[in-house]
Amino acid sequence: MLEVKNLQLSYEDDIVVKNVSFSIEKGTITTLIGPNGCGKSTIFKALTKLKKPDLGSVTLRKKDIKEMTTKDISKQIAFLPQSPIVPNDFTVRDLVGYGRYPHLGWTGRLSKKDQEISEWAISETKLESLQHRHVSTLSGGERQRAWIAMALAQQPKILLLDEPTTFLDIGHQFELLELIHRLNAFLDITVLMVLHDLNHAARYSDKIIALKNGIKFKEGTPREVVSKEVLEGVFDVEVRVFNDSSYNCPYCIPVNSKNKETYPITNKRFKCS
């Protein structure tokens, strides 16, 4: 479905992604994990053509995205960045309508069919009662659902989510992950996302890719990646890994930083005279 080959990405002279290759199977959920600044978000930019690769290629359904226009790509890939912005007076409904943009003609008018698709996206994300509210007045969880509704209206084959759960409490985190899971299971949307919570990644992904310093550290099933060796290598923490028997997936508890570089705390204090 989506194939990344020997990808190298950089900001000016800093190479942030080095020789990364992976492929995403149709209908699966894949999660990227890794420390802050390991290049996860930059990879997403390359997948939506917002960033040109120095080397390597991205292939979408056997077609190099270099040969596709931004619009062609947008009909297949929807991308939700880390902290999307929205003008104060855009309603949920407006926002979802913009999701139809890739499919509109040159007049940019929403046809009856586009309206129906918007309504469908709103009902899939259970936003009916909120659809006339301004997005800026919604709570974190509702807002995230509104963005997902917009992405759904785009009718994508692939959904890219960059840390969709970061600012949510655990209740809303699970609600959102369940929604993503549902979209994957029932609408057959292929999902590629970045998560920081390893247990969420282990529970919801078919495949996990661990990145460190812009290099692919490990790729595999949750059981292969959420293991003591991999996590300690990627995050420099000591972890204990267990198995959750009811969902038959691994889960882990970080217990200690392995970073030996301790902070030189002195006894000097600054006194307020």
Partner 1 sequence: MTNENTLSQLQKKTHFKIMVLLILFALVIASFLISIRFGAHRVSVNQIFRALLIDREGLTYNIIWKIRVPRSLVAAMVGVCLALSGGILQGVMRNPLASPNIIGVSSGAGLAAAITLVLLPNYSFLLTPMAFVGAFLTTIFIYTLSWKDGINPLRMILSGIAISSFMSAIVNTILIFHPDRVHNTLGFTIGSLSAKTWVHYRMLWPYALVGFFLAIIMSKKLNILMLGDEIASSLGLHVESTRVVMIMIASLLAASSVSVVGMLGFVGLIVPHMMRIIIGSDYRFLFPASALFGASLMMVCDTIARMVMDPMEIPVGIIMALLGAPFFLYLLRGGKMYRAGS
Over the Cα atoms of the chain, what is R_g? 20
Segment contacting partner 1 by CB under 8 A, of 54-62, 70-78, 216-224, 227-235: 70-78
Residues contacting residue 18 through CB under 8 Å, at least 6 positions apart: 8, 213, 214, 215
Q: Does 90 interact with partner 1 (rule: CB under 8 A)?
A: yes
Strand boundaries in 176-271, DSSP class E: 190-194, 207-212, 215-220, 237-244, 249-257
Binding-site size for partner 1 (CB under 8 A) equals 41
Looking at the Cβ atoms of 45 and 203, the one nearer to partner 1 is 45
- Bridge partners, residue 241, by sequence: 252
What type of residue sits at position 91? T
Is 37 exposed, middle or buried (CB count within 10 Å of its CB: 0-12, 13-18, 19+)?
Answer: exposed
Q: Does 86 interact with partner 1 (rule: CB under 8 A)?
A: yes
Segment contacting partner 1 by CB under 8 A, of 63-71, 194-202, 246-254, 260-268: 63-71
Looking at the Cβ atoms of 159 and 179, the one nearer to partner 1 is 159
- Using CA atoms, how far apart are residues 267 and 143, in angstroms rounded to an integer? 46
Least distance from partner 1 to the Cβ atom of residue 240, Å: 37
Segment contacting partner 1 by CB under 8 A, of 59-67, 90-98, 186-194, 233-241: 90-98
Q: Does 70 interact with partner 1 (rule: CB under 8 A)?
A: yes
Residues belonging to the chain: 273
Q: What does each C-alpha distance from 66 to 10, 18, 155 come to in angstroms? A: 17, 19, 22
Binding letters toward partner 1, positions 138-177, x by CB under 8 A = ----------------x-----x-----------------
Q: Does 27 interact with partner 1 (rule: CB under 8 A)?
A: no
Least distance from partner 1 to the Cβ atom of residue 163, Å: 13
Segment contacting partner 1 by CB under 8 A, of 55-63, 79-87, 206-214, 258-266: 79-87
CB 210 within 8 A of CB 230: yes
Q: Which of 30, 34, 46, 79 binds partner 1 (CB under 8 A)?
A: 79
Residues contacting residue 86 through CB under 8 Å, at least 6 positions apart: 95, 135, 136
Which residues contact partner 1 by CB under 8 A?
Answer: 11-12, 45, 48-50, 69-75, 77-81, 84-90, 93-95, 98-99, 101-102, 108, 119, 128-129, 131-132, 136, 154, 160
